[in-house]
Structure 1
């Protein structure tokens, strides 16, 4: 049996706002399909074409209005586990993304043998940006 994770999703309050933000991170649209009020929007990184990140709004057809509102509030409070973005150079990525308008919750810090920084998307989803471990052969 051959299995793999194809799409992982995050809840966002506004898909267009989220798309503009994720484009700053280097993501491009993979799928953007509408069915009435429902929109299936996924993005991906060129360097990782086998994986898509879904930018989904809580609501119909999956959630009732009360559940959708509760999910929006949890995301906005940062209650969801952070996502991890691996980069070659955390400090350089921090500078580039800061200039592009990404607001960081934590500046780059060296610890555990790596450098990491933190930020949130416009909906409150937390991200950790972690520098890839350098090969000992370099």
Structure 2
């Protein structure tokens, strides 16, 4: 049996805001954007990685009640979710390009562990590490 991960989801406070960040600032492309009533299935992907999608999901019905959705939004905003990793060929060059695109970094590029990494958050508070391959 062959298995692979196709979609990993992030909780975001506003899907339109997240979409603008991931597409306009990070350079991802939209894969799927469909609605079913109040529910929206929104995924993006790195242009050079078509087999994997990042879901940008808003906590709430039909998956969560209002109290759970509020708790999840608070946890994301505080940076309590696990950090995601974005691999790049040149961390310092990517840092400069993304800063010019308006990405706010929490950590400038640092050489350590035999590579270079930097940190940033999306508008909802999800933490990212950008690591040079």
- TM-score, length-scaled by structure 1: 0.95
Instruction: State the match for 1:65 in structure 2.
Output: 66
C-alpha displacement at 1:2, in angstroms? 1.3
Residues 18-55 of structure 1: CA deviation (Å, up to 9, x unaligned) = 01100111111000000011000000111100000000
Secondary structure (helix, strand or coil) at the match of 1:117 reads strand
Residues 43-95 of structure 1: CA deviation (Å, up to 9, x unaligned) = 01111000000000000000000000000000000000100000000000000
Bigger radius of gyration? 1
State the distance in 1 between where 2:26 and 2:88 align: 11
Length, aligned pairs only: 132
Instruction: State the match for 2:79 in structure 1.
Output: 78
Instruction: State the match for 1:98 in structure 2.
Output: 99
TM superposition outliers: structure 1 runs of 4+ over 2 Å: none
State the distance in 2 between where 1:16 and 1:52 align: 17
Secondary structure (helix, strand or coil) at the match of 2:94 reads helix
Instruction: State the match for 1:11 in structure 2.
Output: 11
State the distance in 2 between where 1:94 and 1:124 align: 18
State the distance in 2 between where 1:109 and 1:82 align: 17
Instruction: State the match for 2:20 in structure 1.
Output: 20
State the distance in 2 between where 1:88 and 1:17 align: 27
Instruction: State the match for 1:135 in structure 2.
Output: none
- TM-score, length-scaled by structure 2: 0.98
Structure 1 unaligned residues grouped into runs of 5+: 133-138
Instruction: State the match for 2:129 in structure 1.
Output: 128
Structure 2 unaligned residues grouped into runs of 5+: none
Residues 97-116 of structure 1: CA deviation (Å, up to 9, x unaligned) = 00000000000000011000
